[in-house]
Structure formats: structure tokens, C-alpha cells
Amino acid sequence: MTWTRAVARCVRAVSIALALPSLSMAPRATVSSLYVPRSMKQAYSRGTRSPDGRPGPRYWQNRARYTITLTASPPNRKVTGTEQIVYVNASPDTLRRLAMRVIVNIHKAGAYRATNAGPDYITSGVHIDAFTVNGQPATWNAENGYTVQGVTLPAPLMPHDSVRLGVDWHYDVSKESNREGMLDSTTFFLAYAYPRVSVYDDVNGWDLTPFDDRLEFYSDFNDYDVTVKVPANFVVWGTGTLRNAGEVLQPEILKRFQASLTSAQTIRVATIEDMRAKRVTAQQPVNAWHFTSTNVPDVTFAVSDHYVWDAGSVIVADGRPPVSVQAAYNDTASDYRHMVRFASHALDWLSHEWPGVPYPYEKTTVVEGPAGMEYPMMANDESYPDTVFSRFVAEHEIAHTYFPFWMGIDETRYPFMDEGMTTSTEYLLGVADLGKAKADSFFRAFRVANWIGDPAAAADEPIITPNSTGDNGYGKPALGYLALKALLGDAVYRKALHEYMELWHGKHPQPWDYFATFNRVTGENLDWFWRSWFFEPNYIDIAITGVAGSGSGTQVTLANVGGMPAPVDLIVQYDDGTSETLHQTPAIWRTDLRHASVSIPARRRVQSVQLEHGIWMDADPTNDRWPSQRPGV
Ligand SMILES: [Zn+2]
């Protein structure tokens, strides 16, 4: 997401595990003790999903094939489009109406939106010029004309049948751009540029959530064949493979572009001098840039007559061609000169470390723009004076490739399933890039401090709450996923995460599919953890309630005041001047969510104990020390 616009924006570690009672009951692979919505229970009983977290034997998913032509001629703001959609109804339901998404209507006066809109953001929206169903003229009888529109079909679309839709449209790109629009007078970022069929799924039926510029997207997996027509001297970057580089590029530029596809070094495909001298693109009135992509949730394009173009490549898996890594930017954006290297590093790290799944697409392109926004194979990221921050933003947006894109997440309803997961990956990448101390302090300041410092009820709204973003989308769930990783250990966490990704990529997982998959793979009923982190109005506050010595050692008793089971370190000072850190995972709360005790062997006398929370910042530091230093206590 527009993540920069998101809400307001070692010592020796000794783990003393409590003697755990061995789990006498057989591990349950369901999430039956959690709140499960009726819609999910219906999916279980219909067999489209399984309570053990797997897609059910009757799982289905609709898909489409889009053939699109977009025409733009900046500085004229008008974009025209024509498309053929073949939409396949794999559901067992007869569809009499289709919900169509016309997202650019967010710019229309009167559109429902979560943010203010200045005069330069407002346009007249998308105008549907022609509509056909199976080749016959039909009425685009949308009743509200905004971002989600119901269209009645002349004849019902039967189960396992398909329908062919033809749409012609035009719109003006907005002068003020956010996720899409005009980047400057001759650079357009064309996202959401085509009308598409909304998701119809087995749990919630039609997704009718309006696009409000806050909640993001939910998309089916489609195949795209897109031609973008622009005047000579405009370059087009976009989702998918460029099919006709030889037709749209001049020979020298083509040579550089082709070299970049296997080059580990950044190649300046088109410099500002090349662009100014008009020696980049084929010199004919209009060039038609042809891109194809398969099984992706969306396509996005950028066009410019002066952005410069860098490219290189990176190997993400043995036996696969290198992934093309490209950057398009104003020549003045000095941080962007490193962008191909930053993005290549992100692809390499994500593929081999966390999530440790080879980057699933053939390319990625980072385009300079104001959004801090991810798209399949594309990002629209601001230029920053600090290259550490530029890299950080690029890494976050590229990490979104997995969640939501590859995983098909309904991020409109459950932002924590994509932003939260991506924010946890962002932290792990930060540790790799900057070292733990720097990454911790940045994460605390940027992702945690605002939330934990806010005592209002809204701050503690359960993460699972539908359509809840801000801290519930980013910092809180990221801390939850990282606490889970600490609880399970890296190997088990990775195994469960990979099983979830393997089962659900290219599909539409719901939160309960994720929870149940982890329960099944770990062989452990983690409902206590899910409930405390995701389902209850909790926060992080761990207190020392007592320290008692005996012959056999010292017992430190802890209370989980806030309710979230987070990792914590006990910094123990002994009276001989030594100290040690006793690292505790959330396992200490497994049997009793409110009380835990940590044993310190009776080797030395304990002088003081201090809690250290790392990134899991604590709401009340005054109860973190023994002996207490609170005045009057
Ligand atoms: Zn994000």
C-alpha cells in the first residue's frame, strides 16, 4: 500500500523453558475454538474449504482472459481503452449480474472515499462508450456509476460456462496522482486503467466493497494481453513480458535492453541524452507496446517521454531464466541510479531467505512516483535523498509480490494478511541489511510506537476485524507473525508458512485457512495464540509481579497485563556484578495466558531483573523492573 501514508505516520541468551505438560489430547488441525464466521462454516459444509486449512475438494475460483488496448498521448490527459474479457464462471452458481470494478471512478465527484480530494484529484471519471455481451450490444446499466457497478447480463451465465464482454471506455488521468494518474505533464502511471470483473468467491460471493483509496484490492488470477499505444519517443514500462521490443526500440537501445536480460550489472538502457536525442524508440507516429502475462491479479503501466531507463537481472532459482529488473525515473532522482541493484537484492533475498520462495514472476519494474505502492511486477515509489530509505521502500513493495499477489489475498477485508505479512518480511530484510540493532530501532519507531503509545480503544481493535487497516494492517500483525516465528522456531515456522503458500498460491485464502494450516503443520493447537493476537482487543504489556528466592533458585513471576503473548527478555543482574539475558518466547504463556514464571538456577543471588521487549514494545514500562523503581512503591 501507500505505505508511507499508513497511519500517522547480544548477550548470551538462555532459554529456560517451563516444564510443559505434554499435550495429552491429539493435536487438532481445525480452528474450532476460534470465532469462525458463518460464511466460512458454509464453505466447510459445501466442501469448498476444509477445516484443516486446505482447499476443499469442491474448491472453485473464477478467472478471466483480458485482451486490452490502451491509448495515451501525453500531455493530452485522455486515455482510451478497448477490451475483450472472457470471464469463466467456475462456480456452481448461475450469475445473472456481474459486479464490475471501475476503480478510476475514485476520482469522480461524489465517489465514496476515505481521504480528502482536492480539485486536481477530481475528474469526470470513466466513461463507458460501448458494451457488448457475447458480441451483441448491451446496456451498461450501472446504477451508481462509481467504483463498483452491477451490470445485468442479457442471459444468465450458467455454472462452468463463460461470457465474452467487450468494453470501450475513456477517462482523463488526474492531475494530482496518488496510486495512479499524472506523474508530470508527459509521464502517466496507468494503474486500474481498465474495467474488470470483481471477484466472486465461495465465501463471500461478489466482492462489492467500494474502492475508497484506503482499503486495497482483491483480484482473481487472469491472463492479460495488453497493447499500449503511445506516440514515438514515449517508453512504456509495465506488468508482463514485452513481446515486441524489436518493433518499438531502435537497434542500439534494443541491444542494451536484450543485454540487460542476462546482465547482473545495471545497464543504462536509455539515458537522458538518448531520450532527448530521440534515439530510443522507433520513429513512427505511434508505437504499440505489447505485453503479456499469465495468472496474475492485475496489470499496470507507466509511460514517459523523459524518464530514463535502467535494467539488469537476477537469478532467483536454478534452472529458471534470470528475472528482469528495471527502473524508470527522472534523471534528477539520484537514489534511483541504485534502484536496479536494490530491487535485485530484494528479489534475491526474498527468494532465498524469507519467505524463501523463488520470486514467481519474470520481471519487476520500479517507477518513480509518489505512491509507495505495489502492483504485480511493478512498484510506484517516491525518490528519497536517503538511499537506505529508498531501498527500504522498494523492498517492502517488492515483498508484496508474495502477499497479496501470488497468494490472492482479499486484502480489502483482511489487510493484515498482506500488509502485516509484508511488514514482518520488511523487518527481517531490515535485519539482514542494517543489522539487528538498527532494524529494531527503526521498526519500533516506524511501525510500533504510535500504536503502543495510543491508549484509546480503537488502538486495540482486534486485528481480525474486517476492513481494518492502519496499525491493524501493518505493525500489530507483523509483531504477531514475528512472535509466532519466535514461538515455533525458524524451521517449523518456515515449514508451516511454505505449506500455506504451497496450498494457497494462485487461490484465495481466508484467515481461517492460514490459522488451520499452521495448527495442522505444527501438530499443535495454536488457537490460544491466534485468539490472543488476532481475535481479542489486546495489546502488549508484560509486568514483573514478583521475584522470590529459595534454595533451588529464584522464581520471577510475570503477568500478561495486555494480553498479547509476546517474546520478552529478562535482564538479570547478580550481586557478583555479572548479568545474563534470559530470552523467553511466547511459549511461557501457552498454559496460562495471564501468568507465567521463569526459573533462575540458584548459582548466584539476583540483585535486579529488568524486562527488555525488543520490537514488541510494552505499553507500561513502569512495571518492567524488580525491585520496582516506581515512586512510593
Ligand atoms: Zn505495503
Tens digit of each residue's pLDDT (9 = 90 or more) over 570-580: 999 999 999 99
What is 512-581 written as a DSSP string? HHHHHHHHHHHTS--HHHHIIIIIS--B--EEEEEEEEETTEEEEEEEESSB----EEEEEEETTS-EEE
Is residue 270 pLDDT above 50, yes or no? Answer: yes
How far does residue 263's CA lie from ligand 1's centre (Å)? 29
Is residue 24 pLDDT above 60, yes or no? Answer: no
User: Among residues 399, 311, 284, which one has the least CA distance to residue 350?
Assistant: 399
How far does residue 577's CA lie from ligand 1's centre (Å)? 46
Percentage of the residues of the chain whose pLDDT score is greater than 70 = 94
Element (H, E) at 304: strand 301-304
CA gap 142, 146 in Å, rounded: 9
**Which residues does residue 267 pair with via DSSP β-bridges, in sequence order?**
311
Percentage of the residues of the chain whose pLDDT score is greater than 90 = 91
How far does residue 548's CA lie from ligand 1's centre (Å)? 46
How far does residue 423's CA lie from ligand 1's centre (Å)? 7
How far does residue 311's CA lie from ligand 1's centre (Å)? 24
Give the pLDDT band (50/70/90) at residue 42: very high
Is residue 502 pLDDT above 60, yes or no? Answer: yes
How far does residue 240's CA lie from ligand 1's centre (Å)? 21
Element (H, E) at 63: strand 63-73
How far does residue 374's CA lie from ligand 1's centre (Å)? 7
How far does residue 5's CA lie from ligand 1's centre (Å)? 10
The answer for residues whose C-beta is within 8 angstroms of residue 12's C-beta and 6 or more apart is 580, 581
Give the pLDDT band (50/70/90) at residue 628: confident
- 535502467: which residue's cell? 310
CA gap 163, 126 in Å, rounded: 23
How far does residue 373's CA lie from ligand 1's centre (Å)? 7
Q: Cell digits for 215?
A: 482499503
CA gap 315, 427 in Å, rounded: 23
User: Rounded mean pLDDT of 538-555?
Assistant: 93
Give the pLDDT band (50/70/90) at residue 602: confident
How far does residue 379's CA lie from ligand 1's centre (Å)? 11
Identify the pLDDT of residue 333: 98
pLDDT tens per residue across span 68-98: 999 999 999 999 999 999 999 999 999 999 9
Residue 73, class by beta-carbon neighbours within 10 Å (0-12 exposed, 13-18 middle, 19+ buried)?
middle
How far does residue 396's CA lie from ligand 1's centre (Å)? 6
User: Rounded mean pLDDT of 386-410?
Assistant: 97
Is residue 289 pLDDT above 80, yes or no? Answer: yes
CA gap 613, 514 in Å, rounded: 27
Identify the pLDDT of residue 563: 98
Distances (CA, A) of 83 to 129, 196, 221, 296, 494: 12, 10, 17, 17, 41
Q: Cell digits for 255?
A: 541491444
User: Rounded mean pLDDT of 550-569?
Assistant: 94
User: Among residues 471, 631, 451, which one has the least CA distance to residue 541?
Assistant: 451
Q: Residues 165, 133: contact at Cβ < 8 Å?
A: yes
Residues 381-392: b if buried by 16+ CB within 10 A, e if exposed: bbbbeebeebbb
pLDDT tens per residue across span 448-461: 999 999 999 999 99
What is 589-627 written as a DSSP string? GSS-SSEEEEEEETTS-EEEEEEE-TTS--S-GGGSEES
Identify the pLDDT of residue 5: 38
Lowest-confidence range among 475-479, 487-491, 516-520, 604-608? 604-608
Q: Are strands 76-88 and 63-73 parallel, antiparallel or unpaired?
A: antiparallel
User: Among residues 339, 367, 380, 428, which one has the least CA distance to residue 3?
Assistant: 380
Q: Using the 8-state DSSP alphabet, how is residue 139 labeled?
A: -
How far does residue 541's CA lie from ligand 1's centre (Å)? 27
How far does residue 555's CA lie from ligand 1's centre (Å)? 42
Q: Cell digits for 177?
A: 496522482
Give the number of other CB atoms < 10 A from CB of residue 219.
24
Q: Cell digits for 486?
A: 519466535
How far does residue 470's CA lie from ligand 1's centre (Å)? 11
How far does residue 6's CA lie from ligand 1's centre (Å)? 9
How far does residue 395's CA lie from ligand 1's centre (Å)? 10
Q: Cell digits for 415?
A: 489487510
Q: Residues 313, 524: contact at Cβ < 8 Å?
A: no
pTM given for the model: 0.94
Tell me the H-state helices in 251-321. Answer: 251-260, 272-276
How far does residue 285's CA lie from ligand 1's centre (Å)? 39
- 502477499: which residue's cell? 403
Is residue 10 pLDDT above 90, yes or no? Answer: no
Phi, psi of 148 (to 5 degrees): -125, 125
Is residue 13 pLDDT above 50, yes or no? Answer: no
Is residue 349 pLDDT above 80, yes or no? Answer: yes
How far does residue 55's CA lie from ligand 1's centre (Å)? 26
User: Rounded mean pLDDT of 585-594?
Assistant: 97
pLDDT tens per residue across span 276-286: 999 999 999 99
How far does residue 398's CA lie from ligand 1's centre (Å)? 9
How far does residue 372's CA lie from ligand 1's centre (Å)? 8
How far does residue 8's CA lie from ligand 1's centre (Å)? 15
Q: In what side-by-side order are the strands of the sheet with 595-601?
A: 542-550, 553-560, 595-601
Identify the pLDDT of residue 29: 59
Distances (CA, A) of 352 to 347, 355, 490, 523: 9, 8, 14, 26
How far does residue 169's CA lie from ligand 1's centre (Å)? 30
How far does residue 466's CA lie from ligand 1's centre (Å)? 17
Is residue 11 pLDDT above 60, yes or no? Answer: no
How far does residue 404's CA lie from ligand 1's centre (Å)? 9
User: Among residues 1, 116, 6, 113, which one has the least CA distance to residue 470?
Assistant: 6
How far does residue 375's CA lie from ligand 1's centre (Å)? 10
Is residue 347 pLDDT above 90, yes or no? Answer: yes
Give the pLDDT band (50/70/90) at residue 147: very high
Mean pLDDT of the chain: 93
How far does residue 57's CA lie from ligand 1's centre (Å)? 33
Identify the pLDDT of residue 3: 40
Q: In what side-by-side order are the strands of the sheet with 63-73?
A: 136-137, 127-133, 162-172, 76-88, 63-73, 222-231, 286-296, 241-242
How far does residue 418's CA lie from ligand 1's centre (Å)? 7
∠ CA 263-266-270, rounded to 5°: 110
User: Rounded mean pLDDT of 459-464?
Assistant: 97
How far does residue 105's CA lie from ligand 1's centre (Å)? 23
How far does residue 179's CA lie from ligand 1's centre (Å)? 12
Q: Cell digits for 123?
A: 475528474
How far does residue 353's CA lie from ligand 1's centre (Å)? 19
Give the number of other CB atoms < 10 A from CB of residue 577.
8
Give the pLDDT band (50/70/90) at residue 629: low
Q: Cell digits for 90?
A: 467456475
Give the pLDDT band (50/70/90) at residue 38: very high
Is residue 16 pLDDT above 60, yes or no? Answer: no
Identify the pLDDT of residue 550: 79
